[in-house]
Structure 1
């Protein structure tokens, strides 16, 4: 028996643009999406917030599914979609990792249920992550030829169709993405009518702008699935009121600042070194001791700048990430003095805030790409950042943004380390 045709779609933009409900699989990605949307937004760590959401603001929810078994991750997405039903329906966005990690195939299949089509565009030009021929590239190198998945149990997928196995994907080349809007709309419709889902190539923000604009023209039946790059394109396309200006930072010099570095990225070592030059106390933690819960933090000096990190000298520990993040988050929550927090790695961010009982963040700004500065309901300042983001000065830039007094020390350090003239 033939499948019924997909519901008709309209090329005309809606008279009233719907509010956005975005679902993320980890906390740093949720924060990145919240900032990318640009307007008033709530960032929730509680999927129960999906029910009864008012259309006065966009909503981003961290479903915290990256570590779950695929069936459980898919169930979380389905449950969230049921809770998000409203009249008029919201514009749905599914945030995924630009390196295709997590339960991508299972979550995408659940997200596609009831949609005319899902537009798949995980490119992130700001981090030099592009999609060409349906293959994700990192700095021009195909993802499966990099070591980006070294901490995963599996090998990196060779293409988007492979990453989304079980969901029929049709790639769209750049020349079509960059053609007239009517031609891109027609290609999206053609692929949807065949029962498949369009995956347009993208190298630039302009490419993602064209993708987002086409999906908006075709209506909410075309759901968006992508990284922070596509979320930013959606934010640029939607005429939203400006987010309220953040209140001025009060004097925080006497509040401890705690960095919890949960990433296995090699660059974290150099990032931490830039902080220790300023006098930050670095506490490297043996992963076995962290997992066993036998670590006791040394007494804190106040005010203090402290960095907790997992000692990665023994190499990555595939499959151990969630257990280590949970133990590290519980340890960080015991740090005295109610410190402001800088949390790298989505799982580390989530487990630390869970241990502290924090269920909501109010995004205030972005210190650098992906480093989102937020405030908790009780006034604590929190910066979240994906583990793979940021240059060697990333943590230093975050420290100076949260503690401007450090700027003078930073300038002095640069002067002391300046090479002598030739």
Structure 2
């Protein structure tokens, strides 16, 4: 199994959902499957390789090229291809889908993520029953959200597969008919069972029909592949022996409103919170920022952030923490934040080992340090507290007013 994602937290979510032993690769966009530090072996039988193409913030033409390069390098005989897309339809969905479809009979598309309350009905993404374009989910974007999946895929010929067909006996025939007409099927889905039906029907059409969807579709594919005997086993680094004594550094680069409450819960049990304003990040010399991790430390961007400058701020945040994060375990919220921090630390591969809650994936670096990645929009109010308790389960670490 070779899977492609446009950001790191989505790649980690996909790696856990597929239920196969494997690796996460921080791929360089211009070099497809090649990590920043060198070449990367393709997956062997029974193994998955999930590549973060880091294409979410690229120009559309460069994002498409990164997908083309990765697909060309990964077109190995008998392997399965999967393309992870954002369940909120962010990123260069049209350009990357067109590139992903090139050379295949077609692509079956299902962006629903029921576990996060994100469904698709009538080709429209719904957030807990509200159409995406009527929510504030794109508040950090520089453009308005699409009114439908077809709108997000403008320029790609699509055909709607309604829920009645997804749940009926003729789903595979319907997919084939649309593909024969040169249209990519966009499938409605409201439940994980719907996604399982879509994954099974698409997978049954053969390797020249590719799957594209959210982590929910990846999980459905994982359930399907779990029925097949696994021949290979990926070698996972051993946890670092000094884990219990290492600082735990939480780097929060997301603009989600829920983040403040998540940090507050962690601070209430003794974590140190270091809020940094955009001015401090962009103007202050890195070495003068007092962010050295002690015990459990949370570093976040505070104050209003202009969407147009968000990437520069995240890059500055990564640079600010890189010098002090080399001996810490890490919790990184937001795919862009995670990628920039690990890039600054020279980490090019991760081995996923556990999922703390949906989307919060615990991985190990080659030297055995823990890294938890999580999409910025995921998690309830206790998300960061749950992650910290999973990494530091000793009772003395996380109790009200405990000193670090």
Structure 2 partner of 1:255: 246
TM-score (norm 1): 0.88
CA distance in 2, matches of 1:385, 1:301: 20
CA distance in 2, matches of 1:240, 1:345: 34
Structure 2 partner of 1:351: 340
TM-score (norm 2): 0.91
Which residues in structure 2 correspond to 1:59-138 (within 5 Å)?
A: 59-88=49-78, 90-138=79-127
CA distance in 1, matches of 2:154, 2:374: 29
Alpha-carbon spacing, 1:407–1:147, altered in 2? closer, same or farther (3 Å): farther
Alpha-carbon spacing, 1:400–1:407, altered in 2? closer, same or farther (3 Å): farther
Which residues in structure 2 correspond to 1:172-191 (within 5 Å)?
A: 172-180=161-169, 183-191=170-178
What is the CA-CA distance between 1:87 and the residue it aligns to?
2.5
Provide, for residues 194-247 of structure 1, a one-character-per-residue CA deviation record: whole Å limited to 9, x for no partner.
110101100000000000000111011111110100000000001253977976
Q: Does 1:298 align with 2:290?
A: yes
What is the CA-CA distance between 1:86 and the residue it aligns to?
2.0
CA distance in 1, matches of 2:291, 2:359: 31
5+ residue gaps, structure 2: 28-32
Pick one of 315, 321, 327 that aligns with 1:332: 321
Alpha-carbon spacing, 1:146–1:380, altered in 2? closer, same or farther (3 Å): same
Q: Are 1:38 and 1:243, in contact at CA under 8 Å, matched by a contact in 2?
A: no
Q: Are 1:274 and 1:393, in contact at CA under 8 Å, matched by a contact in 2?
A: yes
CA distance in 2, matches of 1:86, 1:305: 44
Q: Are 2:335 and 2:374, in contact at CA under 8 Å, matched by a contact in 1?
A: yes
Which secondary structure state, in structure 2, belongs to the residue aligned with residue 320 of structure 1? helix
Structure 1 partner of 2:264: 273
Q: Are 1:173 and 1:200, in contact at CA under 8 Å, matched by a contact in 2?
A: yes
Q: Are 2:293 and 2:324, in contact at CA under 8 Å, matched by a contact in 1?
A: no
CA distance in 2, matches of 1:252, 1:55: 31
Structure 2 partner of 1:215: 202
Q: Are 1:30 and 1:95, in contact at CA under 8 Å, matched by a contact in 2?
A: yes
What is the CA-CA distance between 1:55 and the residue it aligns to?
2.0
What is the CA-CA distance between 1:358 and the residue it aligns to?
0.2
CA distance in 2, matches of 1:129, 1:320: 28
Alpha-carbon spacing, 1:148–1:364, altered in 2? closer, same or farther (3 Å): same
What is the CA-CA distance between 1:320 and the residue it aligns to?
1.7
Q: Does 1:195 align with 2:195?
A: no
Q: Are 1:297 and 1:335, in contact at CA under 8 Å, matched by a contact in 2?
A: no
Alpha-carbon spacing, 1:286–1:408, altered in 2? closer, same or farther (3 Å): closer
CA distance in 1, matches of 2:60, 2:173: 33
Provide, for residues 48-89 of structure 1, a one-character-per-residue CA deviation record: whole Å limited to 9, x for no partner.
16865142321100000000000000011111111112223x
Backbone CA RMSD of aligned residues:
2.0
Deviates more, 1:275-284 or 1:350-359: 275-284
Structure 2 partner of 1:9: none
Alpha-carbon spacing, 1:281–1:121, altered in 2? closer, same or farther (3 Å): same
Structure 1 partner of 2:132: 143
Provide, for residues 137-163 of structure 1, a one-character-per-residue CA deviation record: whole Å limited to 9, x for no partner.
111110000001011111000001100
Pick one of 24, 28, 46 that aligns with 2:5: 24
What is the CA-CA distance between 1:403 and the residue it aligns to?
0.3
Q: Does 1:342 align with 2:331?
A: yes
Which secondary structure state, in structure 2, belongs to the residue aligned with residue 167 of structure 1? coil
Q: Are 2:293 and 2:328, in contact at CA under 8 Å, matched by a contact in 1?
A: no
Structure 1 partner of 2:30: none
Q: Are 2:243 and 2:369, in contact at CA under 8 Å, matched by a contact in 1?
A: no
CA distance in 2, matches of 1:318, 1:71: 21
Deviates more, 1:263-272 or 1:252-261: 252-261
What is the CA-CA distance between 1:362 and the residue it aligns to?
0.4
Provide, for residues 86-138 of structure 1, a one-character-per-residue CA deviation record: whole Å limited to 9, x for no partner.
223x2111101000001111111111111111111010011010000000011
User: Which entry has the higher C-alpha Rg, 1 or 2?
Assistant: 1
Which secondary structure state, in structure 2, belongs to the residue aligned with residue 48 of structure 1? coil
Give aligned pairs, total: 387
Q: Are 2:291 and 2:321, in contact at CA under 8 Å, matched by a contact in 1?
A: no
CA distance in 2, matches of 1:336, 1:44: 20
Alpha-carbon spacing, 1:244–1:93, altered in 2? closer, same or farther (3 Å): closer
What is the CA-CA distance between 1:382 and the residue it aligns to?
0.3
Structure 2 partner of 1:42: 23
